[in-house]
Amino acid sequence: MTVVLVGTSHHHAPVEVRERVALDLEGAAALAAELADGCEAVCLSTCNRTELYLAGDDAAALEHRAVRVLAALGGADEARLAPVLYRLHGASAALHAFRVAAGLDSMVPGEGEILGQVRAAYEAGRPGPVLDRLFRQALYAGKKVRAETAISESPTSVASAAAALAEQVFGELRGRSVLLIGAGHTGRVAARNLAKRGATITAVANRAGERADSVARAFGARAVALEDVTAVLDAVDVVVSSTSAPGVILPADRVAAALPARKGLPLFLIDIAVPRDLDPAIHGLDGCYLYDIDDLESVVAESLAGRREEAVRAEAIVAQEAERFAAWHAARDVVPAIALLRERAEEIRAGELARAETGLERLSDSERRVVESVTAAIVNKLLHLPTVRLKEAAAGTDGGAYADAVRHLFGLGEQPEDGERS
């Protein structure tokens, strides 16, 4: 059984492509259930990536199925989507999953949110024994990296990078007012980081009024309804949006309607949602400067300068855990073959002793025990080297081939020949 991964991420596709294949957790769970027809399936979808993890016997068929599903999800034919997709099999897919869980493949390396997102995807998916082991070990690797390295130093999330970008633009955030659109976890993290840098959270807008009220009280701001956002645009310097809406919630024409009241003051907007919350056309309006999640990479690059050594240590931990998974996965093919081989040999030994029972009747109990011991020793010695070689093969890439050869040569899993029956 092979692990197959097909996906796209910020390394391969811009946000306008990623948002077309992005899913919330409910959608990811539904897609995993759809894919889990004769295979194992987990769907991981975050602001940085959408990845389909499958495990089954026919790697080529699984890859084709995953590509077809992503193309349908993105509303594009497979040929157009193909250049932004990556396809990984076996050990490479496992290593990638471990790097993702450790935050090493994120836009903000070491980010704290990805581990929870990986866990949620795993719990919402349809894993079997292989993907269960893969994701449990990936979560372990992610925790180990956070415990044993300093890769998670600030900024540790897209939201904190957004605050750093705002500070870069203004030079000083003290005295700057912020409208927060979206009062979920990402919005709260963004608000905390902006407030720490001196900004004032003026208003909080959210679809659910109770959540907006809660976040607004925490920062001394006022809660507003999403449809009333335009009314506060004339009084803020920065807009940060991070809702889970399926599409644009603030069109360019609504922003344009608020501009005359601003009297030429610049408006800085950061959209860290995927799919995007803010109409890309806003960037073309006079005095408006719109940044999306892909624009945060310059901030992230600066934050990495002092963490190269920690990243190297984190990569070593991830590689070690990936090797452990590869050894376990290879042994899944070999261990059953070893067990079947020994079981068949013991059946033959016991059957031959039973056929010779008449001749053994005259032996004493101690002599019979000697016969049992000698025949068992012969079997063990004959099987010792094949067992060792099979276990050695399990550590490499040809363990499955060895296991198949042993099953074929000894007819394991088949009914014994008449001469072998007791």
pLDDT digits (tens, 9 = 90+) for 369-413: 888 899 989 989 988 888 887 777 766 656 667 777 777 888 876
- The pLDDT of 79-102, averaged and rounded, is 93
Q: In terms of DSSP H, where are the helices of 19-111?
A: 25-35, 59-74, 78-81, 90-101
- The pLDDT of 245-258, averaged and rounded, is 92
Q: In terms of DSSP H, where are the helices of 156-258?
A: 158-170, 185-196, 209-219, 252-258
What's the pLDDT score for residue 402? Answer: 74
What's the pLDDT score for residue 79? Answer: 85
Structural domains present in the chain: 2-148 (3.30.460.30), 158-286 (3.40.50.720), 334-420 (no CATH)
Catalytic: 47?
Answer: yes
Contact 159, 193 (CB under 8 A): yes
Residue 305: pLDDT band with limits 50, 70, 90: low
What's the pLDDT score for residue 418? Answer: 53
CA distance to 13, 185, 233, 249, 370, per residue, from 245 (Å): 21, 14, 20, 7, 77
Whether 307 shows a pLDDT value over 80: the answer reads no
**What is the 8-class DSSP label of residue 181?**
E
Model pTM score: 0.74
pLDDT digits (tens, 9 = 90+) for 26-73: 999 999 999 999 999 999 999 889 999 999 989 999 999 999 999 999
What's the pLDDT score for residue 312? Answer: 86
- Amino acid at the residue 107: M
Whether 267 shows a pLDDT value over 90: the answer reads yes
With CA atoms as reference, report the closest residue to 322 among 60, 162, 88, 128.
88
| Other CB atoms within 10 A of residue 386 CB | 17
Options 39, 43, 47, 288, the catalytic residue: 47
Torsion sign, CA atoms 94, 99, 103, 107: negative
- The pLDDT of 269-277, averaged and rounded, is 93
Whether 415 shows a pLDDT value over 80: the answer reads no
- The pLDDT of 140-161, averaged and rounded, is 81
What's the pLDDT score for residue 253? Answer: 94
What's the pLDDT score for residue 264? Answer: 87
**Joined tokens for residue 225:** 């309804």
Beta strands in 99-245 (DSSP E): 177-181, 200-205, 222-224, 238-241
- In whole numbers, what is the pLDDT of the chain averaged over residues? 87
- The pLDDT of 111-133, averaged and rounded, is 93
User: What's the rounded Cα separation, in Å, for the pair 327 and 329?
Assistant: 5
Residue 414: pLDDT band with limits 50, 70, 90: low
Contact 279, 241 (CB under 8 A): no
pLDDT digits (tens, 9 = 90+) for 318-356: 999 998 898 787 777 677 778 888 888 888 888 888 888
Task: Read off φ and ψ for residue 198, nearest 5 degrees.
Answer: 105, -5
What's the pLDDT score for residue 386? Answer: 82
